[in-house]
Amino acid sequence: MNISIFGLGYVGTVVAGCFAKAGHRVIGVDTERAKVDLINSGRSPIIEAEIEELLAAGVATGTVRATTDARDAVEATELSLLCVGTPSQPSGELDLTYIRRVCEDIGAVLRGKAARHVVVVRSTVLPGTIRDVVIPALERSSEKNFDVEFGVVMNPEFLRESTAVADFYAPPKTVIGSRNRADGELVARLYEGISAPLIHTALEVAETVKYCDNIFHALKITFGNEVGALCKSIGVDSHEVMRIFCQDTKLNLSPAYLKPGFAYGGSCLPKDLRALTWLARSRDIEIPMLSHITPSNDAQIRSALRLITSDGKRKIAVLGFAFKGGTDDLRESPIVTVVEALLGKGCELRLFDPYVNTARLVGANRRYIEGHIPHIAKLMVASAEEAVAGVDTVLIGNINTAYAPALATLTAEQRVIDLTSSGKASATAARYERLVG
């Protein structure tokens, strides 16, 4: 394919050299003449293993050249990859000056170009930037319509500096976000021969995934560092701890616990976090990230309360109020906290949880229910149908297919709030809302 690459910094230079080696014809574009001259002489404007050899070979065989002229590059290619910088402003907001300018440059050429062109954003941009900034800028300058006359695709870059070329050939994944699948398929052709999961998705999802990746990496580093600081203060080998921690690919390094939903609770996580943060305080060790997990969890509970009370309706059914499905354990259940707050606001509640009901009958959790939360026990009813009859709002507190028949009896005037955010659990005529997106 014929591709133009705008921005010959770390990403653009690596991508130019690697795509040329894969057999594509590449034209690099940069506003800095010195970078363009370096590439045209087969040298690299960045220090990165293997890249100079790739560029030298590409220039020698005529598969790579560079220019400062956007017109020359856009007219000669079918795809333009945007690899310009998106630095921070002092507030943290992205500086999109380079993105806007490059869109104006490309759009001005597209105005007179008959063939369909696809612009591929490889720079890291906040969700919504393509919709609100890139597409409007291209439409204004090209006087053409997005999707009909030109395409835009989000294809985030996952390479790491210092191992960038190796990462290009073995990326963790290739993510292609598009509105128009044909444009996404065109971009996918660039990656033929690279063995990595190829994922087509929506533009905004692709923009967001890149941030989740980088922030998760930052979070992992910080987690390791805070564990290390704590371990040092108590004379424990943190490397040995983390080596064992990482061997658990079932619960630790795995998709477990990574589904957006409701707050954690139960008899272990809240208690153990309190103990560990106390230990750090007692040793005068700062662990700001670990110390903010509980406040973040509390914020999730407050956000559920705001959503539930947002329409001022007061008759509420709760389906599932143990801290998770499949257990009768009510200790530190965040749903019980929600129920108590709603009672405090004068709401009328009916609660049903098949596991808690059974526990109450057989007495497994009976002492706890009757000793600690008798006010909750009084609100329990015998079936999900009884709980939801005539209420304004139904809260789904944990996942259970047993709620389906009751949800099927709801009407369009009733509202379901799914705290688990697991998706539309079953057919219901009621308005359905998830706590998180």
Residues that bind ligand NAD (CB under 6 A): 6-12, 29-32, 35, 83-86, 98, 101-102, 105, 123-124, 157, 159, 161
- Note whether 149 and 198 are within 8 A (CB): no
DSSP β-ladder status, 431-434 and 348-352: unpaired
Considering the complex, what minimum distance in angstroms separates the CB of residue 298 from ligand NAD?
33
Exactly one of 212, 246, 268, 347 is catalytic; which is it? 268
Nearer to ligand NAD, 100 or 131 (CB): 100
Nearest CB to ligand NAD, comparing residues 33 and 424: 33
- Choice between 29 and 379, CB closer to ligand NAD: 29
Q: How far is the CB of 104 from ligand NAD (least distance, A)?
A: 8
As measured in angstroms, the least distance from the Cβ of 93 to ligand NAD is 14
Nearer to ligand NAD, 36 or 356 (CB): 36
Is 212 part of the annotated catalytic residue set? no
Query: What does the angle CA 43 – CA 45 – CA 46 come to, to the nearest 5 degrees?
Result: 115
For residue 350, the minimal CB distance to ligand NAD (Å) is 51
Task: State the DSSP string of 45-59.
Answer: SS--TTHHHHHHHHH
Report the nearest approach of ligand NAD to the CB of residue 124 (Å).
Answer: 4
Residues 6+ apart with CB under 8 A from 212: none
Report the residue number, 17 or 320, with the smaller CB distance to ligand NAD.
Answer: 17
Which C-beta is closer to ligand NAD: that of 171 or that of 325?
171
Sheet containing strand 79-82, edge to edge, reads: 64-67, 25-29, 2-6, 79-82, 117-121, 150-154, 174-178, 198-201
Strands (E), 249-338: 315-319
Shortest Å distance, C-beta 230 to ligand NAD: 31
Return the number of the residue (32 or 237) whose C-beta is nearest ligand NAD.
Answer: 32
Q: Which is nearer to ligand NAD, 105 or 329 (CB)?
A: 105
**Chain residue at closest Cβ approach to ligand NAD:** 9
How many Å apart are CA 362 and CA 357, to the nearest integer? 9
Token reading at 312 = 């001022």
Provide the H-helix boundaries in 9-78.
10-21, 33-40, 51-61, 70-75
Strand (E) or helix (H) holding 232: helix 203-234
Q: Provide φ and ψ at 406, rounded to 5°.
A: -65, -40
Measure CA 43 to chain center.
Answer: 37
Closest approach of ligand NAD to the CB of residue 368, in Å: 51
Angle at CA 361, nearest 5°, toward 356 and 365?
A: 50
Residue 120 CB, nearest approach to ligand NAD (Å): 12
Per the DSSP assignment, residues forming a β-bridge with 417 are 395, 433
DSSP state of 94: B
Give min distance, CB of 201 to ligand NAD, in A: 18
- Residue 150: phi, psi to the nearest 5? -150, 160
Compare residues 11 and 410 and give the one whose CB is closer to ligand NAD.
11
Rounded to whole angstroms, how far apart are CA atoms 207 and 209?
Answer: 6
Closest CA to 151 of 190, 101, 203: 203
Supply 143's token pair. Answer: 């006087």
Q: How many CB atoms are located within 10 Å of the residue 218 CB?
A: 11
> What residues contact 415, with CB distance under 8 A and at least 6 apart?
311, 313, 392, 393, 394, 430, 431, 433
Residues with a catalytic annotation lie at 268
